[in-house]
Structure 1
Amino acid sequence: MKVSILLFFITIVNFSVVYGQDAYQQGYFIKNNGEKINCLIKNMDWENNPTSFNYKLSESSPKETTTIEQVQEFEITNFAKYQRFKVKVDTSRSEINYLSDNQAPDYKEMTLFLKLLVSGKANLYFYHKTNMNRFFIQVDSLPIEQLIYKKYSDKDDLIKSNNLYKNQLINYLKCEKISGQEFIRTEYNTKSLTNIFLKYNSCFGQEPINYVSKPKRKILNLGIRTGLNIASIKMSGGNSGVFDAEFKKYLTPRIGLSGEVVLPFDNNKWSILLEPNFQYHNLKQDFNIQFATKEIAETKYNAIEVPIIIRYGIYVAKNAKIFLNTSYVFDIPIKKSKMDFDGRRDIKMSTSSGVAFGMGMEYANTYNFEFRYNLKRDLLAKEVYINADYSTINFIFGYNFLRK
C-alpha cells in the first residue's frame, strides 16, 4: 500500500513538472546592440530580481534563455519591466543581530536588473533579495542612485536609522504641490515611495506610468471540507500483551472548515492553510489476550484535528490546477475520548502531533478534491507502557464559498 502511494505521488509530481508550466506572456527585450525582440516571456513572478529569463519567439517556438550580460531591458506587458544598471548598492544587513555600528552605507558596485515601479520625469526602481530591499531614483538624465535608508546600532546599542532618502527626495523631487511634511512622512516602502513619485511626475503635466498598479489579487479563501477517512488503530503494551488489540481499516466521516492565505509571489503557487475538522470514532471489538481469553475493547475518540498546511499548486489548464501538500497535524481531544478494556481501567486519550502529505485538484478556485496520507501518530502519548498507533488516509471534498 505504501509503495503504491509513493508511486502515485511520483506520478503526480512528474505530471506537474511536464504540464504545469508558468505562462509565457507577451513582452519584449532589448539586446546590448539596441535590437528589440518581440517575444513571449516566461512569467515567473520573481520575488528576487532575476538575472536571466526564458522566452519563445512564438507559441510553437522552442524555449530559449538569455541573461543579464546579453540584455539591457525586458518587459512583460501589463506586468513588470526590468532595466539593467551598474549601480552602487548598500549591502548593509538589516537583521538586528547583524546591525553595523556605522550609519554610512556599505557600498558595493553591482550590475542588476532593477524593477521599474514608476516611470516619468522621475523614475523609481526597486531591488530585492533575501532580507534586502533597496529603492533607486533617476531624474531626467542624471545618474541613477540608491535612496539611502539604513538601520544601525549606536555606541549604547540603541537601534537608529539613517533616513538620508528623505533629504534625497526633497532635493530631487521639488514641486509646489508637495509639502515638506509629505517628504518627512514618506516611508521607505513601495506604497509610500510610489505615491510621492506619482505626485511629483503629475506636477509637470505628465501622465506617469505606475507599474505597481495591478489587478488586486485574491489572497484569502474560506471554505468547507467534508469527506471520509480510512483509519486504523493498533494498540500494544502492558504485561504479556494484555493491551494488544487492533481496529483494522474502518470508515469514519469528516467535516470541517478551511482558511487559505495565498502568498504574493511565484504566480500565487504557494499558500498556507488552516483546516480544523471534527473527528468521530466509536468502535467496539472482541480480541484475544493470553490463554485465549476474549475481552472487549472499546474506543471513543472525538477530537478537533487541526492541520497546518503548506500547499504548492500548478495550473494545468485555464481553470484547473493540481496541488501538493505537506501538513503538521495536531489534535484537540474532546471530553470523554477514551479507550476501555473489560475489567481494566479506562485510558484517557492524549494524542501526539503528526505529519501528513497530500495531493489533489482544484477547479475554478472553488471546487477541490484531495487525497491525503497521514503518518502514524500515538493516541496515548502520555502513557508510558501502552501505545495506540493511529493512521489514516483521507478523501477530502472541498468548496470555497468566499474569496477576498
Structure 2
Amino acid sequence: MKQKIIYLLFLLNVSIYSQNIFLKGYYIDNNGQKNDCLIKNHDWKYNPTSFNIKNTIDSETKTISINDCKEFSIENEFKYIKETTQIDTSSENYSQLDSKKEPNYIVSTIFLRVLVEGENDLYLYENENYPDRYFYKNNDSTIKQLVYKKYFDPNKNEGSDVFVNEFYKRQLTNDVKCNDISKKVTLENVKYTKIDLIAYFAKINNCNNPNTNSQSNVLFKTKKAIVSIKGVTALNSDAIKFQREPSVNTGFDTKVNFSLGAEMEILMPFNNYTWGIFIEPNFSKYKANQTIQHGLNNSLTRNIILDMNVIQVPIGMKYYIKSNSASSFYLNAGINVTNVKEGTKIDFENTDSDYYFTGFSYTFFGAVGYKHKKIAAEIRINSTNNAAASNGYDIQFNRSSLVLKYELFRK
C-alpha cells in the first residue's frame, strides 16, 4: 500500500513538466534582435531566470536564459525586461527584522515583470526569499526600486515596536506626478501593494495624457483564487483486521459501503490554476457481524459485532494535467483524518475482551482522477493505520475508494 502511494506522489512530481501551453510571443536578444517564437506560458509565481521557446509547435524546445535575453513577452499575457539594478533583500518576518531604516541593497541582474507602461513605468519582482519589490522609471531615467522597509526602532532593543520606511511615497511625489495641478492625485491611501500602485501609475499616466484610456497601458492581469464547492459520494472498500498475539489474529471480511460528503477546493492563481488545496469531509457507516475462530489451533469460535459511524476529513493538494479547456486528469495527495465516536468497539459477545477504537487517527492518501466540466471521478488509496485505543492490541483500518464528485458552485 505504501508503495502505491509513493508511486502516486512520484507521478505528481513528474507531471509538473507535462503541461503548460506554448503561445505566440517574442524575445529580444542581447544584440537587440527581436525573435518571433512560441513561448511556454508557465504563469510563474516568482520571476523566472529562463524560459522555454519553440520556433513552431512541432519543433524542438529550447531554453533561453537571462544571460541571452533583454526582453520577452506573450501578447495579452505578460512582459518581462532584464535589468541590472539594486534590490533590497530585507525580510518582513518579525524574527528577521533589523534596526536599519535603509534598505539592504545588493546589485543583481533580474527579469522584472512590466505592470504598467507609459510615461511612467511600473515593474514587479517576486522572489521566494523576500517580499515583493516594486520598481519604476519615468521618461528616460534609470529603473529604481520603490523603497518600503520594516525595521525596529534603532534607539531601543530589537523586539520593540516595528517602524516602516515608506520612502516610496516621497519618490512618487517627486518623480511620478500629474503635471496638471488641478488634477492632483493623492498618495494618502496608496499602499505598497500591486493593486494600489497599478491604479496610481495608470491614473498619473492618464492625467498627463488624457487622450489615452487609463487602463490601456496596464499590462498586468489580476488573477484571483477560484473557490469550488462539490458534492461527493464514494464507493468504499473497507478492510479491518485486529490482533492480540497469540490468541487473536484475524479480521472482518472486506466490506463495501457508501459515503457522502462535500469538497471545498481553492485553485491557486498561478501556474495556470493547475494547483489546488482542498478539504473533503464525508460520513459513512460500517456494520459487520461475523463468527471467527481463535485460540490455540483456532479451537475456539466467537461471534464479533462492529457498528461504527465514520467521519473522515481528507486534506491535501491537487495537481491538474489539462488535456483541453473542458477536461483534465489530476493527482492529489494528503492526510486523511478519521474520527469515530468514543466508545466504538469490536464487540466479542459474552466476553469482557472488547477492542476499542481511538477517537482520532490519520492516514496518508494518494489519488488519480479525471474531471470533465462539472463531473469528476477518482481512485483513492489510503495507507493502513492503527486505530486501536490501547497498546494491548492492534486494529488496522484500511480504505480504498472510488470517488464521484459534482461541482455545485465555482467562483
The alignment's TM-score, normalised by the length of structure 2, stands at: 0.90
Supply the distance in 2 between the matched residues of 1:228 and 1:334 (Cα, whole angstroms).
Answer: 22
Residue 150 of structure 1: aligned partner: 149
Match of 2:55 among 50, 54, 57: 57
Residue 111 of structure 1: aligned partner: 109
Q: Which amino acid aligns with 1:190?
A: K
Q: Which amino acid aligns with 1:152?
A: Y
Supply the distance in 1 between the matched residues of 2:376 and 2:182 (Cα, whole angstroms).
Answer: 52
Supply the distance in 1 between the matched residues of 2:325 and 2:195 (Cα, whole angstroms).
Answer: 31
Residues 1:367 and 2:372 are matched in the alignment: no
Residues 1:396 and 2:394 are matched in the alignment: no
Match of 1:167 among 170, 177, 190: 170
Q: 1:337: Cα distance to partner?
A: 3.3
Supply the distance in 1 between the matched residues of 2:92 and 2:401 (Cα, whole angstroms).
Answer: 44
Residue 330 of structure 2: aligned partner: 323
* SS of equivalent to 1:324: strand
Q: 1:6: Cα distance to partner?
A: 6.6
Residue 282 of structure 2: aligned partner: 277
Q: Is the 8 A contact 2:12 2:332 kept in 1?
A: no
Residue 259 of structure 1: aligned partner: 264
Residue 76 of structure 2: aligned partner: 78
* SS of equivalent to 1:185: coil
Gaps of 5+ in 1: none
Residue 126 of structure 1: aligned partner: 124
Q: 1:217: Cα distance to partner?
A: 5.2
Gaps of 5+ in 2: none
Q: How many pairs align?
A: 396
Q: Which runs of 4+ in 1 moved over 3 A?
A: 5-18, 176-180, 334-337, 345-348
Match of 2:65 among 64, 67, 70: 67
Supply the distance in 2 between the matched residues of 1:260 and 1:6 (Cα, whole angstroms).
Answer: 21
Q: 1:95: Cα distance to partner?
A: 1.4
Residue 186 of structure 1: aligned partner: 190
Q: Is the 8 A contact 1:178 1:200 kept in 2?
A: no
Q: Is the 8 A contact 1:303 1:332 kept in 2?
A: yes
Residue 240 of structure 2: aligned partner: 233
Q: 1:142: Cα distance to partner?
A: 1.2
Q: Is the 8 A contact 1:234 1:247 kept in 2?
A: yes
Residue 379 of structure 1: aligned partner: 387
Q: Which amino acid aligns with 1:61?
A: S
Supply the distance in 1 between the matched residues of 2:46 and 2:11 (Cα, whole angstroms).
Answer: 28
Q: Is the 8 A contact 1:218 1:403 kept in 2?
A: no
Q: Is the 8 A contact 2:230 2:408 kept in 1?
A: yes
* SS of equivalent to 2:196: helix
Q: 1:213: Cα distance to partner?
A: 2.9
State the identity as a percent: 29
Supply the distance in 2 between the matched residues of 1:88 and 1:8 (Cα, whole angstroms).
Answer: 44
Supply the distance in 2 between the matched residues of 1:7 and 1:152 (Cα, whole angstroms).
Answer: 44
* SS of equivalent to 2:383: strand
The alignment's TM-score, normalised by the length of structure 1, stands at: 0.92
Distance 1:297 1:220, change over 3 A: same
Supply the distance in 2 between the matched residues of 1:287 and 1:169 (Cα, whole angstroms).
Answer: 80
Q: Is the 8 A contact 1:357 1:374 kept in 2?
A: yes
Distance 1:178 1:158, change over 3 A: farther
Supply the distance in 1 between the matched residues of 2:103 and 2:65 (Cα, whole angstroms).
Answer: 29
* Deviation string, structure 1 residues 268-296 (Cα, Å, up to 9, x no partner): 11111010011210011101122512111
Distance 1:147 1:179, change over 3 A: same
Supply the distance in 2 between the matched residues of 1:100 and 1:167 (Cα, whole angstroms).
Answer: 22
Q: Is the 8 A contact 1:300 1:336 kept in 2?
A: no
* SS of equivalent to 1:202: helix
Residues 1:297 and 2:304 are matched in the alignment: yes
